[in-house]
Amino acid sequence: MICSIIPPYMLRRLAAQNEPRLRIIARAAKESLLQIKSLQAVRALPVPAPVPTARQAKPGPPKRTIYDAESAEVLPGKLVRKEGGAATGDAAADEAYDGLGETHRLYAEVFSRNSIDGVGLKLDATVHYGQLYDNAFWNGSQMVFGDGDGEIFQRFTKSLSVIGHELAHGVTQYTAALAYRNQAGALNESMSDVFGVLVEQHAKKQSAAEASWLIGEGLFTDAVQGAALRSMKAPGTAYDDDVLGKDPQPDSMDTYVRTTADNGGVHINSGIPNRAFSIVALELGGNAWEAPGQIWYNTLASGSLPATCTFRRFAKATAASAEELFGAGSSEHDAVLKAWETVKVKL
């Protein structure tokens, strides 16, 4: 499945713009929507079977390769940097290289996971994809980054949480293989947001209290009234802009959005489990990649989640993981129960 960081509803807002300064961007957004749709309809490579356990091999060093699409839409593009190679001087290429490294480091050091698939998958990324391309995506085998349009979005390698988010789709692909639709799809998106912020917090050595809990911070230009694509701590508050509209994410089941758009609201309703994770992390304090991250990772990699997992089933699984790892009645277990109660997901 093609999983992109920019939701289709945001691209549709851009595509509908008629202002002279935005017409070129609107045209590019329309092309991006069509391109993502075609990629989803015809997946070039089959999705590998999930790896059944989180620890298949001792983590080794990353194996990164960065390519330059040179504004074309042909993958992978021209090789510009291999593992251990010197910095290129191209900000996008070097940010992608460093971001892949930080993502690999989190999984290796914190979760004892050997790359995305658990057995040392090579990490490939292509930068400078397309013209005015407002997106980044995981295509089932590699990362792809656009440069943005310069008016609304900056280059997509600028945000470490975006790099971590997209690579986490690969981890989900190789573990729970959550379907990309409805609540399972929202959980798929949420897992990517969770591990996206964990990559960023781990790299910056930020505690849960110090972190912004924003996804895509730094992507918007100064022309946009907004801080990021999403806020995990306060869903629905990330942006409120004349061009992009208002952040539509709900923060609890009371405002759950029922829609057929966006594969059943996968980028919208992910705000609910996102907030639950942030509540656990802030309740426990310290580093979110420690107890909270271990609970969520153990749940994802346990093999117990069905492809069509619901919020309720996922919540029960996180509670079971917290009990397994830390014991019933522990502060960790209690924090998980409190978080799901707060966002109105019944266990």
Q: Which residues are known to be catalytic?
A: 166, 267
Structure tokens belonging to residue 194? 């969770």
Q: What are phi and psi of 271, to 5 degrees?
A: -60, -30
Start-to-end CA distance of the chain, whole Å, equals 29
**Cα separation, 245 vs 225, whole angstroms:** 10
Peptide bond just before 46 cis, omega within 30 deg: no
Residue 44, classified by CB atoms within 10 Å of its CB into exposed (0-12), middle (13-18) or buried (19+), is exposed
CA dist 274 and 192 (Å) reads: 10
Q: How far is CA 201 from CA 32, 64, 210, 270, in A?
A: 30, 21, 9, 20
- Counting beta carbons within 10 angstroms of the beta carbon of residue 175, is it exposed (0 to 12), middle (13 to 18) or buried (19 or more)? buried
Instruction: Report the candidate in 228, 60, 212, 32 with the shortest Cα–Cα distance to residue 130.
Output: 32
What's CA 267's distance to the chain center, in Å?
A: 10
